[in-house]
Amino acid sequence: MLGDYSLTDLSSIFVMQGFAGLILFSVYTLMALGLAIIFGQMGVINMAHGEFMILGAYMTYLCSGFFQTHLPALFPAYFFVAMALAFLASGALGMLVEWALIRHLYKRPLDTLLATWGLSLILQQAYRTIFGPREVGVELPAWLIGSVQVTDTIEIPINGMFVMAVTLLITAGVALLMYRSRFGAQVRAVVQNRPMAGAVGIDTEKVDRLTFGLGCGIAGIAGSAFTMVGSTGPTSGQLYIVDTFLIVVFGGAASLLGTIASAFSISQTQSTLEFFLSGSTAKVITLLSVVGILMLRPQGLFTLKVRR
């Protein structure tokens, strides 16, 4: 398996596959961050999370088309507008869904699973009706295309670095929001004990709605970033939802750091193995090791040590 490559080739392969893994890691992290808030913090199993992501991707697609035809001068900068729009659109839809559906089901987690599964089918069909069944791609501005030649054999794509920078920013922003702001403290109080949070003066319904909206909005940004590495179709979200849940559970449900660590280990294993074996064999090995580790550590990689 490894015998056909020379040592320099091998190290280049590892670097480039490692980098491909880092891009996958970034998209996984963005998707898992939203889910870590909704599932890890609020305990809501949101099967439609992938569709919120795809909404962000479609917003980016629309934005790219709009800028190309109406504002070609600003086209190089459209991606930033697209990400903001993706966040707002997915966040707004998330808050609507929380108000109409989720808030009635906080005490019935299994019903939430079914309801959001239904929602995901509805959204898929809506995308199919509005945008058509064919996958769409996004036109990238010139400065995001191409790659940086590091050595003779190592090339690093620019859009990949951009996705990583975005991920870093969003992750830092979410960490600050959750652990340094008053809103974050209120979110954590509500998820730990909803009636008691109300009894110390926190408007729990408002916090729930904003939290759910935030998680969905981050999924929208993930979708926006996702357009750079893959094409967007009505069912693309389905491909990622299982992986995303896997990451959140593997990382330890209530820990942001755990989510990041588990996204890193899963995506790196996946992409390095994919080069040498077939994609499905790589997936099997990844899943088997995750299952094995979860049997030894059912609480996930990272947990808080406190008396309950």
Partner 1 sequence: MLQTAPTSSAVPPIQAGVEPMLAIRDLHAAYGQSEVLHGLDIAVAPGEIVAVMGRNGMGKTTLMKTLMGIVPVKSGSIRVDGVEVGGLKSHQRVARGLAYVPQGRMIFSAMTVQENIETGLTVTNERRVPGELYEMFPVLLEMKGRRGGNLSGGQQQQLAIARALASRPKVLLLDEPTEGIQPSIIREMGRTLKAIRDAGGLSIVVSEQVLSFALDVADRVLVIENGAIVHEAARAEIDEAQVARFLSV
For binding to partner 1 (CB under 8 A), which residues are involved? 182, 185-186, 188-189, 192-193, 195-205, 254, 304, 306-308
Q: Give alpha helix (H) positions in 36-105.
A: 49-70, 78-100
Nearer to partner 1, 103 or 188 (CB): 188
Nearer to partner 1, 57 or 190 (CB): 190
Rounded to a whole number of angstroms, the minimum distance from the CB of residue 184 to partner 1 is: 9
Give the bridge partners for 155, in sequence order.
149
Q: Find out whether 61 and 227 touch, Cβ atoms under 8 Å.
A: yes
- Nearest-approach distance from CB 58 to partner 1, in angstroms: 37
Q: Beta strand pairing status for 147-149 and 155-157? A: antiparallel
Residue 73 beta carbon to partner 1: minimum distance, rounded to whole angstroms: 44
| 97 vs 4: CA distance, rounded Å | 54
Minimum distance from residue 260 beta carbon to partner 1 (Å): 18
CB of 77 to partner 1, least distance (A): 36
Return the sign of the alpha-carbon dihedral for residues 215, 175, 291, 308.
negative
- Which CB sits closer to partner 1, 155 or 205? 205
Cβ proximity of 235 and 124 under 8 Å: yes
User: Which residue in 179, 192, 142, 184 sits closest to 257, CA to CA?
Assistant: 179
Nearer to partner 1, 197 or 241 (CB): 197
The nearest distance, CB 243 to partner 1, in angstroms, is: 27
Q: CB nearer to partner 1: give 107 or 307.
A: 307
Q: Closer CB to partner 1, residue 130 or residue 200?
A: 200
Structure-token pair, residue 256: 């942001």
Quick one: 121 or 185, whose CB is closer to partner 1?
185
Distance CA 197, CA 68 (A): 48
CB 225 to partner 1: min, Å:
30
Which residue, among 250, 170, 264, 261, has the nearest Cα to 214 in the 3D structure? 170
Q: How far apart are CA 162 and CA 223, in angstroms?
A: 14
